[in-house]
C-alpha cells in the first residue's frame, strides 16, 4: 500500500465529524444546534479509529496496519449508517469552496 495514498485518506477523513455535524445536526426552537446521542457516540468511535490510524502512520510508520485501519474506518462508517459516497461528495464540495481563486 502506498504511504502517501493512506496519508491522503487520513487527511480527508479527519473531517468526518464536520460532515456528521453538517448532515445530522438540527436547530431547536431556540436556534441551538442539537445532535442525537447516537451521533456523538459514533463520532467518538470513529475518532478512535482515526487516532489509531495516526499512530500507525506517524509514530510507527506501519503502512500495512494503517491500510487495515483505513478499511476498518470505511467499514464502520458505512455500518453506522453514514455514506462514504456522500462523504466524498461533501469533501469535494468543501475543497471547491475553500480553494483560492
Place of cell 506501519: 62
Residue 101 has pLDDT above 70, yes or no: no
Query: Which residues span the domain enclosing 19?
Result: 3-98
Tally of domains within the chain: 1
Query: Is 46 within 8 Å of 21 (Cβ atoms)?
Result: no
CB 13 within 8 A of CB 50: yes
Q: What is the pLDDT of residue 66?
A: 92
* d(C-alpha 74, C-alpha 4), whole Å: 18
Would you give the DSSP letter of residue 99? Answer: S
pTM assigned to the model: 0.84
Query: Per DSSP, what are the bridge partners of residue 27?
Result: 33
- Judged by average pLDDT, the poorest of 7-11, 43-47, 71-75 is 7-11
Q: What confidence tier does 27 reach under pLDDT thresholds 50, 70, 90?
A: confident
Q: Place 42 in a pLDDT band, splitting at 50, 70 and 90.
A: very high
Specify the higher pLDDT residue, 86 or 8: 86
Amino acid at each position: 500500500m502506498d504511504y502517501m495514498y493512506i496519508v491522503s485518506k487520513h487527511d480527508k477523513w479527519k473531517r468526518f465529524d464536520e460532515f456528521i455535524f453538517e448532515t445530522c445536526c438540527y436547530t431547536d426552537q431556540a436556534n441551538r444546534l442539537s445532535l442525537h446521542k447516537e451521533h456523538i457516540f459514533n463520532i467518538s468511535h470513529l475518532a478512535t479509529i482515526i487516532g489509531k490510524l495516526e499512530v500507525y502512520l506517524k509514530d510507527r510508520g506501519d503502512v500495512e496496519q494503517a491500510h487495515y485501519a483505513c478499511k476498518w474506518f470505511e467499514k464502520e462508517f458505512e455500518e453506522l449508517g453514514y455514506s462514504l459516497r456522500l462523504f466524498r461528495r461533501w469533501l469535494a464540495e468543501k475543497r471547491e469552496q475553500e480553494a483560492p481563486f
